[in-house]
Chain A
Amino acid sequence: EPEVTQTPSHQVTQMGQEVILRCVPISNHLYFYWYRQILGQKVEFLVSFYNNEISEKSEIFDDQFSVERPDGSNFTLKIRSTKLEDSAMYFCASRRDRGISGELFFGEGSRLTVL
């Protein structure tokens, strides 16, 4: 069964350092997303990406965040200068169809710990 894969599974970094989280969406999917989940809290939307550009972003997704699809298969989330409050599980997700019935498939997440 096709799946969304994410690396690394866990990253520990110092405050102020840059972090890149990587995702390989399902191959025939066209819409890509990043969500995050602070421990014990709800899953929050960060950004959606389609046709090599951001479709929508939340207020969480400030100038410290960027996304890129550098090579047609990987989808990356970069946090330029990490803060303590960026510690969370980051989930990549992808969807084939734009329609409302298109299922969103999530990866297993990358846990980011900022010290």
Chain B
Amino acid sequence: QQQVKQSPQSLIVQKGGIPIINCAYENTAFDYFPWYQQFPGKGPALLIAIRPDVSEKKEGRFTISFNKSAKQFSLHIMDSQPGDSATYFCAASGVTGGGNKLTFGTGTQLKVEL
């Protein structure tokens, strides 16, 4: 129940395309859903995050769509660029007695080709 399922495992798009990465969760106690971007040899960096009281959040070229009833959320990257080539992780957390640990998805390797 703690898992976050992410798909696809890898994705290749052309420059300017709109890659979409999907995640699903089971634990209804999750109430914070961030997306992290990771370049090779670097730590994950927060890209954008959403709470379940909204269905969509947009920051620059990045948009999260959230479907609370389906327990699914997705990342869309508009006008993708070669510099967006990275691994993207969805994650989820909820207020627990501990420290709001993040449960990560399995990651999507995105390659944006010229």
Residues of A near any B CB (own CB < 8 A): 4, 31, 33, 35, 41-45, 48-50, 55-56, 58, 91, 93, 95, 98-109
Contact = CB atoms under 8 A, between A and B. Distances in A.
Given A103-B46, A107-B43, A56 B97 contact: yes
Contacts of B31: 100
A42 B43 contact: no
A31 B93 contact: no
B5 to A, nearest CB: 11
B49 interface: yes
B42 interface: yes
A56 B101 contact: yes
Given A100-B51, A101-B32, A95 B89 contact: no
Interface residues of B, number: 28
28 contacts: A4-B43, A31-B99, A33-B101, A41-B106, A42-B106, A42-B107, A43-B104, A44-B104, A45-B102, A45-B103, A48-B98, A48-B99, A48-B100, A48-B101, A49-B99, A55-B97, A56-B98, A93-B43, A95-B99, A95-B100, A98-B100, A100-B31, A100-B95, A100-B100, A101-B32, A103-B49, A106-B36, A108-B43
Nearest to B94: A100
Contacts of B83: none
B17 interface: no
Chain A CB count within 10 A is highest, among B31, B46, B96, B98, for: B98
Contacts of B34: 103-104
A33 B89 contact: no
